[in-house]
Structure 1
Amino acid sequence: MEKKRIQIFDTTLRDGEQVPGCKLNTKEKVRIAKQLEALGVDVIEAGFPTSSPGDYKSVQEICKSISKPIICALSRAIEKDIEIAGNALKDAKMARIHTGIGTSDCHIRYKFNSTPEKIIEKAKLSVQYAKKFVEDVEFYAEDAGRTNNEFLAKVCETVIKYGATVINIPDTTGYCLPEEYGRKIRFLKENVKGIHKIILSTHCHNDLGLATANSLSGIMNGAQQVECTINGIGERAGNTSLEEIVMIIRQNSHLNLFTNIKTKLISETSYLVSECTGMKVQANKAIVGVNAFSHSSGIHQDGIIKKRETYEIINPEDVGIDQSSIILTARSGRAALAYRYKKLGYSLNKNSLDLVYSIFLSYADRKKEIADKELKIILEKANIKKKRMLHNSGRINVV
């Protein structure tokens, strides 16, 4: 079976930047956009131009600096928003306007004080107007996760009829369970007239920790594009993590899916986004956290030293990390200690290792982690004991 390509729509510079305290200036946005281009993303959502003059300028500058990915600008279903987005995108080699409106009962009643009929009309008019500026128009049905499927299908049919090229089905509040979100995508694929003409996109939030799982369920049920962010940053608990969804696809060949992401640039890109945004990556974050390829348990360390695949399903080199890390703690065993000493140029025989290990444990019980400088101190202590023991028995040997 031929593999299907999943397009990667990166919204780090738009949805990702909406995190409190995460403000990027134009220079930083352009720098990240160039890195995303090198990474191989298909679409860069550069910003929300109507939100501020600074964001408008950033979108303009990104359009001038980027040549390969589609550059996308967000707007509400308001003519002024759409016009500003269209103007900001004038210098893009390939431009897309991303416009839309809330479709759930909650949004229709309380956010817009409107009716389903009026929402469909606004959806239609927004796509029609956006087509005056660009050919590629993506429509988002905000809060689609909580939208009745039959009504959502009507909205989709309408915007397809009036020229939408991509339809985004956001789980805006992170409400859906993976099976539920997958069924929603499958329902649209099977019940919306003209759905084969457009790209169906996922956009999942992580309020319940299910963003990546929901996105995966979406593409397994027919979505062709995933909207995501580097390090999973975004509103509230964040968005689908680009590195997670990309590596899930890469590592599970039976899915018959692929992306154009150059995975060896993932770690570098993660670091850049963290540096520019000031948003630290949690240590246990999948793929890019500092502990993702680190091992401190003796059992795990012994397995990794013997064969990496015993405890790692991803080769760290595949995401731009030189090698796995063996972290020495009180839970580490002799194999890990010998391994680390070998890295420092010391080869210990069994008797020497036993002696050094007993000293190591006394250090490790007092500290979270034993560094190289402390390993050398431990070796010096062992040498002192060695001399004394040599005098008594002549049997201890440090090589």
Structure 2
Amino acid sequence: MDNRVKIFDTTLRDGEQVPGCRLNTQEKLVIAESLESLGVDIIEAGFPVSSPGDFESVKEIAKLVKNPVVCGLSRAVQKDIEVAADALKYAKRPRIHTGLGTSDQHVFTKLKITREQVIERGVAAVKMAKKFVEDVEFYAEDAGRTDNEFLAQVVEAVIAAGATVVNIPDTTGYCIPEEYGQKIKYLVDNVKGIEKATISTHCHNDLGMATANSITGVQNGARQVECTINGIGERAGNTSLEEVVMALKKHKWLDFYTGINTKDIYPISQLVSHTMRMPIQPNKAIVGSNAFAHSSGIHQDGFIKNRDNYEIIDPEEVGVEKSSIVLTARSGRAALYFRIKVLGVDLSKEELDLVYPKFLEVADHSQIVEDQDLKNILSSTLAISVNL
């Protein structure tokens, strides 16, 4: 089995479903262009039947994008599929993504049909989509809570009908990694014809396990991961693209790889955050403002001696200019010396001993000691002038 993992980005579809984050067509085009530069394999451009605006966005992205597959979402409904096909008609590599719920919860309380009807509808949807495009992805909504035996029956039927990708969503973020991994493995081991289709993960983060579940899915046979920039999405969000990509890159023993240009990760993270007016939490892995910031004295000392002591990723790998030493009341002499040296002043041990108590006074009254504060401390303590 090929160890290349395809990255399916759904920032413009699932990610955009966050309340207050609606994008216009022009904004979507800017992000789609950046996603192409990033190297994603598939861009889920929208849900064409949902609104005229979404239809127009998918159509324009289909015209713009050259390398990635452009995907449009649909329910297992004839009109949805026809509208998606129409929106994708200009795409060089179109894909229709269709499906319906498979868990007993969805089947009996939302769809209010039988399991047999689920299979019938899924097969009919795939066959209809195949009339318009060769590449058809089927999603088994709420697969995370679906009985594995029934899920296998559904997957086998839609592959026989022509599905090229089978998406196994943990729609409610319910699964833990072992459980989700075993679900993927069950399909690999029990679905006749599974080798004819790519298995895809689509994990939500309701229990904070979306990335872990996606990685475990890959370890057990999935070769496509559905994710979003910054992990945005409904409720607690989706699998974070940057987390999955860097986890696979850093754990070389896993022997998986993607086609992502990792140096473009931070720039597109900032673009999406700004365009969607959705701030990134400071402690967000890979792209948060604190991801490469060090403020504790013990960490700062170890980092200054050797970056690898406290950083597993070189910030330049993901497009961040550099790490930062943040001076706080928890910072030690090593960090203070380092930051003052960056300002162009090389203190002797005796001078540092004079400056450090004054630094602590300032730090106890400030959240962060800035360069201007250091300038004032040097001036008042040692009569050293610094130009900022």
TM-score by length of 2: 0.98
Question: For 2:321 and 2:112, how far apart are their aligned partners in 1?
Answer: 55
Which residue is equivalent to 1:188?
187
Question: For 2:249 and 2:258, how far apart are their aligned partners in 1?
Answer: 8
Could you tell me the percent identity over the aligned residues?
A: 64
For residue 235 of structure 2, give the secondary structure of its aligned residue in structure 1. coil
Which residue is equivalent to 1:52?
51
Which residue is equivalent to 2:39?
40
Deviation, structure 1 residue 104: 0.3
Which residue is equivalent to 1:76?
75
For residue 291 of structure 2, give the secondary structure of its aligned residue in structure 1. coil
For residue 34 of structure 1, give the secondary structure of its aligned residue in structure 2. helix
Which residue is equivalent to 2:224?
225
Are positions 1:299 and 2:301 aligned together? no
Q: Name the aligned partner's letter for residue 89 of structure 2.
A: K
Deviation string, structure 1 residues 241-263 (Cα, Å, up to 9, x no partner): 00000000000000010000000
Which residue is equivalent to 1:249?
248
Tell me if the contact between 2:351 and 2:382 (Cα under 8 Å) persists in the aligned partners. Answer: no
Which residue is equivalent to 1:374?
373
Question: For 1:135 and 1:120, how far apart are their aligned partners in 2?
Answer: 20
Deviation string, structure 1 residues 114-134 (Cα, Å, up to 9, x no partner): 100111100010001001110
Tell me if the contact between 1:3 and 1:256 (Cα under 8 Å) persists in the aligned partners. Answer: no
For residue 21 of structure 1, give the secondary structure of its aligned residue in structure 2. coil
Which residue is equivalent to 1:179?
178
Question: For 2:142 and 2:383, how far apart are their aligned partners in 1?
Answer: 69
Deviation, structure 1 residue 384: 5.1
Deviation, structure 1 residue 322: 1.7
Which residue is equivalent to 2:342?
343
Tell me if the contact between 2:126 and 2:158 (Cα under 8 Å) persists in the aligned partners. Answer: yes
Deviation, structure 1 residue 381: 1.1
For residue 239 of structure 1, give the secondary structure of its aligned residue in structure 2. coil
Question: For 1:292 and 1:135, how far apart are their aligned partners in 2?
Answer: 42
Deviation, structure 1 residue 323: 1.3
Question: For 1:357 and 1:132, how far apart are their aligned partners in 2?
Answer: 74
Which residue is equivalent to 1:276?
275
Which residue is equivalent to 1:167?
166
For residue 303 of structure 1, give the secondary structure of its aligned residue in structure 2. helix
For residue 352 of structure 1, give the secondary structure of its aligned residue in structure 2. helix
For residue 365 of structure 2, give the secondary structure of its aligned residue in structure 1. coil
Deviation, structure 1 residue 102: 0.1
Question: For 2:373 and 2:24, how far apart are their aligned partners in 1?
Answer: 43
Deviation string, structure 1 residues 268-326 (Cα, Å, up to 9, x no partner): 01000001001100000000000000000001001111100000011111001121100
Runs of 4+ in structure 1 deviating by more than 6 angstroms, as ranges, are none
Count of residues paired in the alignment: 385
Q: Name the aligned partner's letter for residue 307 of structure 2.
A: R
Q: Name the aligned partner's letter for residue 85 of structure 1.
A: A
Tell me if the contact between 2:29 and 2:60 (Cα under 8 Å) persists in the aligned partners. Answer: yes
Are positions 1:114 and 2:113 aligned together? yes
Specify whether residues 281 and 61 from structure 1 end up closer, same or farther in structure 2 by C-alpha distance, changes over 3 A only: same
Tell me if the contact between 2:69 and 2:93 (Cα under 8 Å) persists in the aligned partners. Answer: yes
For residue 348 of structure 1, give the secondary structure of its aligned residue in structure 2. coil
Which residue is equivalent to 2:24?
25
Question: For 1:384 and 1:16, how far apart are their aligned partners in 2?
Answer: 54
For residue 257 of structure 1, give the secondary structure of its aligned residue in structure 2. coil
- Counterpart mapping for 1:76-115 below 5 A: 76-115=75-114
For structure 1, the 5+ residue unaligned runs are 386-399
Larger radius of gyration: 1
Q: Name the aligned partner's letter for residue 71 of structure 1.
A: V
Q: Name the aligned partner's letter for residue 271 of structure 1.
A: Q
Are positions 1:16 and 2:15 aligned together? yes
Which residue is equivalent to 1:156?
155
Tell me if the contact between 2:18 and 2:232 (Cα under 8 Å) persists in the aligned partners. Answer: yes
For residue 74 of structure 1, give the secondary structure of its aligned residue in structure 2. strand
Question: For 1:187 and 1:3, how far apart are their aligned partners in 2?
Answer: 19
Question: For 2:211 and 2:382, how far apart are their aligned partners in 1?
Answer: 52
For residue 71 of structure 2, give the secondary structure of its aligned residue in structure 1. strand
Q: Name the aligned partner's letter for residue 170 of structure 1.
A: P
Question: For 1:60 and 1:118, how far apart are their aligned partners in 2?
Answer: 32
Question: For 2:237 and 2:298, how far apart are their aligned partners in 1?
Answer: 34
Tell me if the contact between 1:3 and 1:258 (Cα under 8 Å) persists in the aligned partners. Answer: no
Which residue is equivalent to 2:262?
263
For residue 123 of structure 2, give the secondary structure of its aligned residue in structure 1. helix
For residue 292 of structure 1, give the secondary structure of its aligned residue in structure 2. coil
Question: For 1:248 and 1:87, how far apart are their aligned partners in 2?
Answer: 37
Question: For 2:63 and 2:122, how far apart are their aligned partners in 1?
Answer: 30
Question: For 1:4 and 1:294, how far apart are their aligned partners in 2?
Answer: 33
Q: Name the aligned partner's letter for residue 192 of structure 2.
A: K
Deviation, structure 1 residue 383: 2.4
Question: For 1:49 and 1:353, how far apart are their aligned partners in 2?
Answer: 64
For residue 137 of structure 2, give the secondary structure of its aligned residue in structure 1. strand
Deviation string, structure 1 residues 12-59 (Cα, Å, up to 9, x no partner): 000000001111110010000000000000000000000100000000
Question: For 1:371 and 1:53, how far apart are their aligned partners in 2?
Answer: 50
For structure 2, the 5+ residue unaligned runs are none
Q: Name the aligned partner's letter for residue 114 of structure 1.
A: I
Question: For 2:135 and 2:231, how far apart are their aligned partners in 1?
Answer: 26
- Counterpart mapping for 1:346-357 below 5 A: 346-357=345-356
Deviation string, structure 1 residues 216-264 (Cα, Å, up to 9, x no partner): 1100000000000000000100000000000000000000100000000
Question: For 2:162 and 2:142, how far apart are their aligned partners in 1?
Answer: 22
TM-score by length of 1: 0.95
Which residue is equivalent to 2:130?
131
Q: Name the aligned partner's letter for residue 80 of structure 1.
A: K
Deviation string, structure 1 residues 350-383 (Cα, Å, up to 9, x no partner): 1111111110000000011011111101111112
Question: For 2:320 and 2:156, how far apart are their aligned partners in 1?
Answer: 45
For residue 327 of structure 2, give the secondary structure of its aligned residue in structure 1. coil
